[in-house]
Structure 1
Amino acid sequence: MQPKGFALFGAVLLGVSRAREWQFPQAAAAAAAQQPLGRVSDDNDDVDILYGSQFNGLNTYARVPYVNCLSNEEVANGAKYDIAILGAPFDTAVTARPGARYGPRGIRTSSQRKYADFAWSVYTGKNALKSWATVVDCGDVPLTVLDNNYALAQLTKGHKVVSGRKAANQSISSTPRIIMLGGDHTTTLPALRSVHKHWGQASVIHFDSHLDTWEPSVIGGGLSDYAGLNHGTFLHIAHEEGLIRKTSIHAGIRAPIARPKEDIQNDEHCGFARITARDLDRIGTAGIITRIRERVTGPVYISVDIDVLDPAFAPATGTPEPGGWSTRELLSILDGLAGLEVVGADVVEVAPVYDTRGETTSLAAAEVVWSLLELMVETPVKSLADQAKYPRSKDITST
């Protein structure tokens, strides 16, 4: 017997017709296999052990299929995808607390309640895993913990291989897109290199409490060139490599800077405008969304350092800064970016060892990844190779 109010709740959540038809995939087999309490059936043919709950199976993001995207053999056997989840377990270029090498694992674990049959949004009525896009989890790129330069070279090659496969839905885009699970923020540099190869210069929407455009001579480079590449300089280096547009923007900035005049000038030289954390108090989430949309042009890369959130919502991060945004505010802002041509994205600096017992930070990060996935599904984007084949007027811009 259904609990009182179930039919009304189901009708609201799923629509009246779907509420009547929908049931757990194994419901029929379970009903057939029921026995009186204390008895065991001799015939177990009707017991379903193929379909799992959200708590079993390999630990992939939102229970999407696992594909070893780095393996030529597996891809040759027909494994294709449009959007790839890719882990970057790297944290040896931080200036504060290490631990983000465990971020990909933590985010995947906290995403286990999401799966294709139970991921319809109450806000939009859509489900990113029931769209045109084939979404897979490629696991993590194997990265050494002993040499930063070599590890980042490994990650650069990993992005190159994963983004270089033929997409599943060739009619929309021949090039798959990647959502990366970090890892410290240095891992965004290899991702931007990959994006540049397929889509050209991108505008970066950088959600963070820190600028991350410092000159290597200010953070690390005074010691060695090796030390100059870190999670506070990667955007400066991306600018020097010509990877990003001068229509980029920071959002959520509030951390102190080293040189009041020079750091701001250098930031603007790297192509960034700034939205501070307290700007939200004056103009609200709608105002933040408007500023971002007015600033960025062309293909967009979204990088979310989880420390953009206040430590009350995300304590498990390498460099926490009080006075940040709430999880709800960040998710609302991300939803407001629908329609932008998001060609790549990441969530970084999640360090589960500092999290609460309730996995506060990892849960927030998993939800942010979902929002990024929704943005990618909402607006397919042609790569440079596709644009050469098909005129812009024929591009598919919305699902």
Structure 2
Amino acid sequence: MFHIVLACLFFALYVIASTERVDPWGNEFGKVEDMSFSGIVTFAHLPHIKCLDDIDAPFDIALLGIPFDAAVSYRPGARFGPSALRSGSRRQRPDRGYSSRLKIDPYNSALSILDCGDVPVTPFDPAIAVKQVNAAYRSMLQHPVASETTMTKLNMQRGLDNLYHPRIIALGGDHTIVLPILSAIHEVYGPVSVIHFDAHIDTWNPERYNGRVSLQAGVNHGTFFWHAYEQGYIRPNASIHAGIRTRFSGPEDLDDDVTAGFDLIHTFDLDDYGVDWIAQKIKARIGNGPVVISLDVDVMDPSTVPATGTPESGGWTSRELRRVLHQLVGLNIVAFDIVELSPAYDSNGEISAIAAADMVYDFLSILALGVTPNADDARTPARDEL
């Protein structure tokens, strides 16, 4: 009898021991912390939700991929830009995001930042794709902000409805995506100024730039600003290009550019006048109104950023461009986009994607620093030497 009782006791202890959950990893190493090269790839390892499926999710800033490249005039591939930008941001982390130059850590500021994934744009019908981008961006702007108190403290622009709306950083995609984006922004803020970093003006009149084939052919990455001007999305005479160096059909292209409301900074103006002059000219042109910053990566020299569809020699370095961006702190910025990154043409070291991802980090930092009440007194970091 004693042996039976003892056997039952040992069996009971065995059953209890075998049902206990053992966590060898947790016991020895604790919480899982991804390395820069591990984990599911979001921008800078930020939290991810499908914002288009959850219209009530609150956030202050969102990264939104728009993988569209059906309206390019030369090399395709920008549909893979959002993926490349996220890959290029792997070494950015929320636990190591402090900028010694701008004195801010955007990832640990009072602003809630999410990676909202990509808009599922069709690659088969550009007209439908443009509508999809517009609908997605309008939905994103209707999300509640996470902190109205922070928006107020940072002096953020309210919409025409007197409400705060999230700031969206669009990851393109070819530059055509900016047309439906500006349409959505116009509904919330009215006409806006544009600071446009690019090698090309993108204000070509469709009548002289592929528009004779069809109406849809006239909506492409070289004409979208002309359409935005015609639709009234852009404030008159309050926008500017920077980094221009392409060739033109003739003086009429530049006349159309003026008609569309843009001034122009040539790429070589940086050598002639310097970064400070460029930044001051931009700020003087833009003023205090709401502004969109649109950055085509081909503004940078192909030796710095080869991964783009329409490269032009003689561009700025990534360092020069970032120095200009840093002096735009304090402007009344309501949206950013970065476009035309085509990773098929990148180096095997991802130099273009890394440079482009660093521009997005600067976008986030600028937003986290807020808006100066009078943009003429916008905060600028101390000047350093080239």
Please give the TM-score of this superposition, normalised by the length of structure 1: 0.82
Instruction: State the distance in 2 between where 1:310 and 1:52 align.
Output: 34
Superposition pairs of residues 163-202 of structure 1, within 5 angstroms: 163-171=141-149, 172=151, 174-202=164-192
Unaligned runs of 5+ in 1: 1-40, 382-391
Query: Is 2:88 the partner of 1:110?
Result: yes
Instruction: State the distance in 1 between where 2:196 and 2:278 align.
Output: 13
For residue 176 of structure 1, report the CA deviation from its aligned partner. 0.3
Instruction: State the distance in 1 between where 2:25 and 2:254 align.
Output: 73
Given candidates 133, 138, 142, the residue that maps to 2:116 is 138
Instruction: State the distance in 1 between where 2:279 and 2:118 align.
Output: 32
Aligned to 1:275: 265
**Aligned-partner SS, 2:336:** strand
Aligned to 1:45: 27
Aligned to 1:296: 286
Moved over 6 A (4+): none
Query: Is 2:316 the partner of 1:325?
Result: yes
Instruction: State the distance in 2 between where 1:222 and 1:143 align.
Output: 25
Identity across the alignment (%): 42
Between 1 and 2, higher relative CO (CA 8 Å, sep ≥ 6) is seen in 2
Instruction: State the distance in 2 between where 1:191 and 1:138 align.
Output: 16
Max radius of gyration: which structure?
2
**Aligned-partner SS, 2:195:** strand
For residue 338 of structure 1, report the CA deviation from its aligned partner. 0.5
Instruction: State the distance in 2 between where 1:221 and 1:338 align.
Output: 38
Q: Aligned-pair RMSD on alpha carbons?
A: 1.8
Change (3 A) 1:380 1:165: farther
Unaligned runs of 5+ in 2: 1-22, 153-163, 380-386
Write the letter of the residue equivalent to 1:178: I
Change (3 A) 1:44 1:286: closer
Aligned to 1:23: none
Superposition pairs of residues 1-399 of structure 1, within 5 angstroms: 45-72=27-54, 75-76=55-56, 79-171=57-149, 172=151, 174-246=164-236, 247-258=238-249, 260-297=250-287, 298-379=289-370
Write the letter of the residue equivalent to 1:197: E
Aligned to 2:157: none
Count of aligned positions: 340
Instruction: State the distance in 2 between where 1:371 and 1:244 align.
Output: 24
Q: For the Cα contact (< 8 Å) 2:330–2:371, is it kept in 1?
A: no
For residue 81 of structure 1, report the CA deviation from its aligned partner. 0.5
Instruction: State the distance in 2 between where 1:349 and 1:114 align.
Output: 21
**Aligned-partner SS, 1:295:** helix
Write the letter of the residue equivalent to 1:59: V
Write the letter of the residue equivalent to 1:109: S
Q: For the Cα contact (< 8 Å) 2:329–2:371, is it kept in 1?
A: no
Instruction: State the distance in 2 between where 1:272 and 1:361 align.
Output: 28
**Aligned-partner SS, 1:116:** coil
Instruction: State the distance in 2 between where 1:193 and 1:43 align.
Output: 51
Instruction: State the distance in 2 between where 1:333 and 1:209 align.
Output: 15
Change (3 A) 1:42 1:124: closer
Write the letter of the residue equivalent to 2:29: V
Instruction: State the distance in 2 between where 1:161 and 1:326 align.
Output: 35
Q: For the Cα contact (< 8 Å) 2:331–2:371, is it kept in 1?
A: no
For residue 58 of structure 1, report the CA deviation from its aligned partner. 2.1
Write the letter of the residue equivalent to 1:220: N
